Amino acid sequence: MTFFRGRRLRKTQSLRDIVQETWLRPEDLVQPYFVVETSDKNFSKEITSMPGQFQLSLFKLEEKVTKAVDNGLKSVILFGIPEKKDEIASEAYNPKGIVQQAVHKLKRKFPDLVVITDVCLCEYTSHGHCGIIEDRHVQNDPTLKLLAKTALSHVKAGADIVAPSDMMDGRVKAIREILDKHGFIETPIMSYAVKYASSFYGPFREAAESTPQFGDRKSYQMNPANSNEAILEAKADFTEGADIIMVKPALPYLDILQRLKDSLFCPLAAYQVSGEYAQIKAASLNGWIDEKNVVLESLISIKRAGANLIISYFTEQVLKWL
Ligand code: PBG
């Protein structure tokens, strides 16, 4: 009988293992953290829509990262929540700002930990938009200077990689130029090049306190219906100097990841966003799905589609499972 017997190589775990195409390693995962500027040293507040994720004081952040590093954590991405917000996001580029302090603290304690910073203004502006507002519209070019200043302040504090997530045109070029000018020619940029205007960011906006006070982000983030535009965005950012290109969200956009893998040859990252986390958490807390297996399946799928690196709120947990 000569029909295809796919089951031959599925018979035992050992056979399945030797033909497995994709693996998940601790090096593939990045844990996001939300660090809050507060005088309460022991501040730790669970995010309602993201059970298991917290807003943390500097001190609590260090405690949490210490445990995770013991479990094999290799990389983090930091988001800051400042005490004061204003129209021009002053705290985003304050050299003594909360993220700058967190970077400094973590790098001093864990020199080998890869510390990535999210470069955006929305957590720091009173209106919650990712740039400067004039006539109720986010102004692209005036925002570039502030983003560049923000990235530089993160790198001066010791950040290993900066990750602009604002979706202003030309920001990778602006950041590359300012870093080079200050001698940081070797600091990589991981660009959120392909960032969709997604409703899956809802829980993050609770966590980062960054919900826009009016309108939405559709004039700068991408239309979920588009795919060719993703290639244009990714190529533009790569040409401007991005070293790693990110797609965000992850699971609903695996087609985009795969297209990018086939058309760009730089490392690709994917962000399994807050809404993706919340969905899995909610269903598993209800006992409707098996959390561990669903998480591992979703992450391996993101890798299979083409991501080299995955930012996931499940990272800390997955490290215990691997
Ligand atoms: C900042 C930023 C956002 C996320 C990462 N960086 C929010 C947004 O664009 O509104 C979302 C991450 C998540 O949902 O987990 N611009």
Does residue 90 belong to any structural domain of this protein?
A: yes
Does residue 1 belong to any structural domain of this protein?
A: no
Dihedral angle over CA of 272, 276, 281, 287, nearest 10 = -120
Q: For 261-275, how does the pLDDT look when each residue is reduced to its tens digit (9 = 90+)?
A: 999 999 999 999 999
Which is it for strands 137-139 and 132-134: parallel, antiparallel or unpaired?
A: antiparallel
Does residue 106 belong to any structural domain of this protein?
A: yes
Q: For 178-230, how does the pLDDT look when each residue is reduced to its tens digit (9 = 90+)?
A: 999 999 999 999 999 999 999 999 999 989 888 999 999 999 999 999 999 99
Residue 1 confidence (pLDDT): 74
Q: For 72-107, how does the pLDDT look when each residue is reduced to its tens digit (9 = 90+)?
A: 999 999 999 999 999 999 999 999 999 999 999 999
For residue 165 the two structure tokens come to 């997530």
Structural domain boundaries, residue 66: 23-321
pLDDT > 90 fraction of the chain, expressed in percent and rounded? 98
Which residue has the least CA distance to atom 7 on ligand 1? 201
Asked if the peptide bond before residue 224 counts as cis, ω within 30 degrees of 0, the response is no
What number does the ligand 1 atom closest to the CA of 202 have? Answer: 14
Does residue 302 belong to any structural domain of this protein?
A: yes
Measured in angstroms, how far is the CA atom of residue 19 from the centroid of ligand 1? Answer: 37
Does residue 18 belong to any structural domain of this protein?
A: no
Which ipTM score applies to this complex? 0.96
Q: For 118-150, how does the pLDDT look when each residue is reduced to its tens digit (9 = 90+)?
A: 999 999 999 999 999 999 999 999 999 999 999
Is residue 308 predicted with pLDDT exceeding 90?
A: yes
CA distance to 34, 64, 127, 216, 269, per residue, from 76 (Å) = 11, 11, 27, 28, 13
Q: For 274-307, how does the pLDDT look when each residue is reduced to its tens digit (9 = 90+)?
A: 999 999 999 999 999 999 999 999 999 999 999 9
Is residue 242 predicted with pLDDT exceeding 80?
A: yes
Does residue 240 belong to any structural domain of this protein?
A: yes
Q: Strands, DSSP E only, in 57-127?
A: 75-81, 114-119
- pTM exceeding the 0.80 threshold for the entire prediction: yes
Residue 79 confidence (pLDDT): 98
Does residue 8 belong to any structural domain of this protein?
A: no
- Segment 67-76 shows an average pLDDT of 98
Tell me the pLDDT of the chain averaged across its residues.
Answer: 97
- Residue 112: which pLDDT band, with cuts at 50, 70 and 90? very high
Best residue for ligand 1 mutational test, from 79, 85, 147, 165 (most atoms within 8 Å of Cβ): 165
Region of residue 264 (left: phi > 0; alpha: psi -120 to 50; beta: else): beta
Q: In whole angstroms, how large is the CA radius of gyration of the chain?
A: 20
Measured in angstroms, how far is the CA atom of residue 220 from the centroid of ligand 1? Answer: 13
**How many domains, the chain?**
1
* Angle of CA points 167, 152, 61, to nearest 5°: 85
**Which CATH number do you get for residue 178?**
3.20.20.70
- Residue 159: which pLDDT band, with cuts at 50, 70 and 90? very high
Binding residues for Zn(2+): 120, 122, 130
Does residue 308 belong to any structural domain of this protein?
A: yes
What number does the ligand 1 atom closest to the CA of 79 have? Answer: 6
Measured in angstroms, how far is the CA atom of residue 78 from the centroid of ligand 1? Answer: 12
Residue 29 confidence (pLDDT): 98
Question: Which has the closest alpha carbon to 237: 170, 155, 181?
Answer: 170
